[in-house]
Amino acid sequence: MASKTTSKTGGDTPFSEAVQQAQSAAEDFNRMFADLKLPAAPDMEALLGAYKRNMDTLASANRIALEGAQAVARRQMEIMQQTMAELGETMRALAASDEAPQAKAARQAESLKRAYEHAVSNTRELSELIQHASGEALALLNKRFVEAMDEVKALAAKAGSHTP
């Protein structure tokens, strides 16, 4: 235990007792943690490098997703323009036709069937574009995640080998 602290007048005071207790607690704390083996500090350069690679991968995945969204938007615009042109052509052909009503109805039904088939085909195409872009971005993120976990294992092993 630490020696008793006395005031300038030579007597014990509540303050000196409190100081003594604080010193004793600090010594106990130091003794308790002196034998505790804490892991070595992580390699900050390696951590910063991993963080930079994570951010680069995230930026690349965002770029891929954005390019995919732009491709979908372009294709949707092309589909809309094509559909409007076909609709205008069909309407002109039906208006100019002097066919019997049954024949016009049959042509309208055939036009409607073609329009439906085009809509299904276009929807499938847009779905594939979206799926491709999101799959590519997700694959990139998954690859980086696996790499990051390998880096964490390596850092932990390296820190463990440096523990005294």
What are the tens digits of pLDDT across the range 75-116? 999 999 999 999 899 888 888 888 888 888 888 899 889 999
Report yes or no: 90 and 110 within 8 Å, Cβ to Cβ: no
Quote the pLDDT of residue 30.
73
Residue 107 and residue 63 share a domain: yes
- b/e map of 130-140 (b: 16 or more CB within 10 Å)? eeebeeebeeb
Report yes or no: 28 and 2 within 8 Å, Cβ to Cβ: no
Residue 127 and residue 62 share a domain: yes
Residue 58 and residue 22 share a domain: no
Residue 123 and residue 55 share a domain: yes
Residue 20 and residue 92 share a domain: no
Domain count, the chain: 2
Residue 49 and residue 32 share a domain: no
Strand residue runs (E) in 24-124:
none
Quote the pLDDT of residue 70.
95
Quote the pLDDT of residue 23.
84
Report yes or no: 61 and 115 within 8 Å, Cβ to Cβ: no
Residue 27 and residue 48 share a domain: no
Residue 59 and residue 21 share a domain: no
Return d(Cα 111, Cα 31) in angstroms, integer: 89
For the cut 70, the answer to whether the pLDDT of residue 3 exceeds it is no
Domain containing 23 equals 1-36
Quote the pLDDT of residue 1.
47
For the cut 50, the answer to whether the pLDDT of residue 2 exceeds it is no
Residue 8 and residue 89 share a domain: no
Tell which residue, 46, 59, 67, has the closest CA to residue 147: 46
Residue 74 and residue 10 share a domain: no
Residue 108 and residue 70 share a domain: yes
Residue 95 and residue 133 share a domain: yes
Q: Model confidence over 22-75: pLDDT tens digits?
A: 888 878 777 766 666 555 566 778 888 888 999 999 999 999 999 999 999 999
